[in-house]
Structure 1
Amino acid sequence: MFLRLLSALLLGLSLFGPLVAEDRKPVIVCSTTQVADFARQVVGDRMIVKSVLAAGQDPHLYEKKPGDAQLVSTADLCLENGWHLEGNDWMRKLAEQSGRPLVTCVEGCKSLKVPGVEQAMHDPHAWFSCTNAATYVRNIRDAVIKIDPEHAEEYRSRAALYLDELRTLHSWILREINKIPVEQRVLVTSHDAFNYFCQAYGLKAATPVGWSTGNEIGAGITPERRQETIDSILQHKVKAIFVETSVNPTMVREIAREAHVEIGGELYSDSMGAEGTAGETYIGMMRENVITIVQALR
């Protein structure tokens, strides 16, 4: 009797084992919160999406933690922004050390050159143009189809719907920015994260800090940049300037006092909002940024 029960149990386990393996969801590990949101829009519940960065963290300054290598080692696919947004290419190094496949989502975007740098460096903040965000989504769609071709039509359908939403968002932003008088469309923020946004939607960018908050080439504040920012505020009679959720606000607050302008609010820049906030998704982040900018500058 015991042997029969044992045999039945072993048979059940042998049948159940493959089902567990087959039902295991692929894991995607992303460097930033924006990339992770794009991935979730494409894969739905079909895959597990994780982000190395949490809401509010700065990818330029991020330093690898002991658990990051373990997290990346579980990935079937790794996604990074690229163009050195991840300071010292920390995501690429994690993927290479773990032997995990890596896709650079910014590839194929029309790039802007990092301001004030003689070398040919791409500004990595490309997602601030909805057109570029669509390129991220297409790159992610193609990457997940390669690792799970059986569900390719699902991924194409989700991506198609989200691309429609991005086109709608793009049109809405243009309409909202048009509420600001042309001469007042100057966006002053902590660092050069909004150049794509300004080019796409008709604003002028002015910042005291370069493209990165880290120590890369072309990054950091200089007295000249600081004075240029103040001069731009005074010249254009800017009504308000903005701090960023992922950057220390001290310097911007000092400039606001010196130039006698208000802080117009916080903008999501290199990171989205925490779960449960209005900016927890890419579309939510962009929507809240635009509302904040328009209300402060119009």
Structure 2
Amino acid sequence: MTHACRLASALIVTLLLPLTLSAEETRPVIVCSTTQVADFARQVVGDRMEVKSVLAAGQDPHLYEKKPGDAQLVSGADLCLENGWHLEGNDWMRKLATQTGRPIVTCVEGCQPLQVPGVDEGMHDPHAWFSCTNAAIYVRNIRDAVVKLDPDHADEYRSRAALYLDQLRTLHSWIVREVNNIPVEQRVLVTSHDAFNYFCHAYGMKSATPVGWSTGKEIGAGISPQRRQETIDSIREHHVKAIFVETSVNPTMVREIAREAGVKIGGELYSDSMGAPDTAGETYIGMMRENVLTIVQSLK
């Protein structure tokens, strides 16, 4: 290549670079409260929009407290997405969106709620995504929101959503088959808090936990002796082979209960947060897959 050609090529690259950067900067921005919601959003929008999550992997949305930079993050959003049903303790995501004047969509709307025993009547269990059927409702809500935000690419968003909904149906069927490998009398899932009620309801298991879903409130007050004993009695009554800790909850209490009940820790489950980047649980499907494999291998 001649010197003149090299100069011409360099000039073209220089001229195109600002255009590339400009296109990147003008992508609509979606800010999500949790890692699960952010993953659902990415499955629908692909590279058309930039998706950000307030929570990082391993953080508990019940205990999260707003940081100074959160308002700035949300203020730059074209759309905000929350789980809803008070998963975000004190409704911090909705408050951030309201304070900054940004539109917000509650992804859990349309799911059939479960109640948590011992929690005020009318307070829905917010962990609805642990049923693949409910996860599909989240995805449809997100699809409809982004189609409204960017109607020029509506067909693209609908196509991505349709493919992902097929994957969720496949995942659901696979989970049913895997759980069927556990003897019926041993299908008792004991974890740190009530994050898995929807999973158990959808896939034929019983949930037994030492605390309710509001981990901040319960852990701060301490587990009641009655609830602790009920959990231990349930473990012994059903001859549970293993109980589980969670990636986003302090494992100390569950380890103490395991020692007292004489059972092993079967492993660590993703609950209120997905896994870190480059781990098997960094996506919703990966998180569910790894949880199911851990549960089945420990209980069958």
| TM-score (ref. length: structure 2) | 0.91
The answer to whether the Cα contact below 8 Å between 1:212 and 1:220 also exists between their aligned partners in 2 is: no
SS at match of 1:214: helix
Please show how residues 208-287 of structure 1 align to structure 2 within 5 Å: 208-215=210-217, 221-287=223-289
Partner of 2:203: 201
Going from structure 1 to structure 2, the CA distance change for 1:240 and 1:21 (only over 3 Å counts) comes to: closer
Q: Distance in 2 between matches of 1:135 and 1:121?
A: 20
Structure 1's consecutive aligned runs of 4 or more residues displaced over 4 angstroms after TM superposition are none
Match of 1:192 among 182, 191, 194: 194
**1:236 partner letter:** H
Q: Deviations over 1:98-155 (max 9, x none)?
A: 1000000000001101222242111000000000000000000000001100000000
Q: Distance in 2 between matches of 1:283 and 1:220?
A: 33
1:221 Cα deviation after fit = 2.5
1:21 Cα deviation after fit = 7.1
Partner of 2:83: 81
Partner of 1:55: 57
* Number of residues of Structure 1 aligned to a counterpart in Structure 2: 281
Q: Distance in 2 between matches of 1:118 and 1:69?
A: 30
The answer to whether the Cα contact below 8 Å between 2:32 and 2:52 also exists between their aligned partners in 1 is: yes
**1:79 partner letter:** L
1:220 Cα deviation after fit = 6.2
SS at match of 1:90: helix
Partner of 1:7: none
Unaligned runs of 5+ in 1: 1-12
CA RMSD of aligned residues (A): 1.7
The answer to whether the Cα contact below 8 Å between 1:105 and 1:136 also exists between their aligned partners in 2 is: yes
Please show how residues 164-179 of structure 1 align to structure 2 within 5 Å: 164-179=166-181
Match of 1:122 among 121, 124, 134: 124
Identity among equivalent positions (%) equals 85
Partner of 1:3: none
**1:150 partner letter:** D
1:222 Cα deviation after fit = 1.7
Partner of 2:185: 183
Partner of 2:10: none
**1:182 partner letter:** V
The answer to whether the Cα contact below 8 Å between 1:210 and 1:221 also exists between their aligned partners in 2 is: no
SS at match of 1:166: helix
Going from structure 1 to structure 2, the CA distance change for 1:220 and 1:124 (only over 3 Å counts) comes to: farther
| TM-score (ref. length: structure 1) | 0.91
The answer to whether the Cα contact below 8 Å between 2:119 and 2:212 also exists between their aligned partners in 1 is: no
Q: Deviations over 1:177-224 (max 9, x none)?
A: 0000000000000000000000000000000011121128xx963221
Q: Distance in 2 between matches of 1:203 and 1:222?
A: 24
Partner of 2:102: 100
**2:98 partner letter:** E
**1:108 partner letter:** G
Q: Distance in 2 between matches of 1:143 and 1:187?
A: 35
Going from structure 1 to structure 2, the CA distance change for 1:188 and 1:163 (only over 3 Å counts) comes to: same
Partner of 1:29: 31
Partner of 1:156: 158
Partner of 2:47: 45
Shifted more, 113-122 versus 140-149: the winner is: 113-122
The answer to whether the Cα contact below 8 Å between 1:210 and 1:220 also exists between their aligned partners in 2 is: no
Going from structure 1 to structure 2, the CA distance change for 1:38 and 1:98 (only over 3 Å counts) comes to: same
**2:224 partner letter:** T
Shifted more, 19-28 versus 108-117: the winner is: 19-28
**2:71 partner letter:** A
Partner of 1:145: 147
Q: Deviations over 1:218-243 (max 9, x none)?
A: x9632211110000000000000000
2:67 aligned with 1:65: yes
Q: Distance in 1 between matches of 2:151 and 2:170?
A: 29
Q: Distance in 2 between matches of 1:275 and 1:56?
A: 11
Partner of 2:138: 136
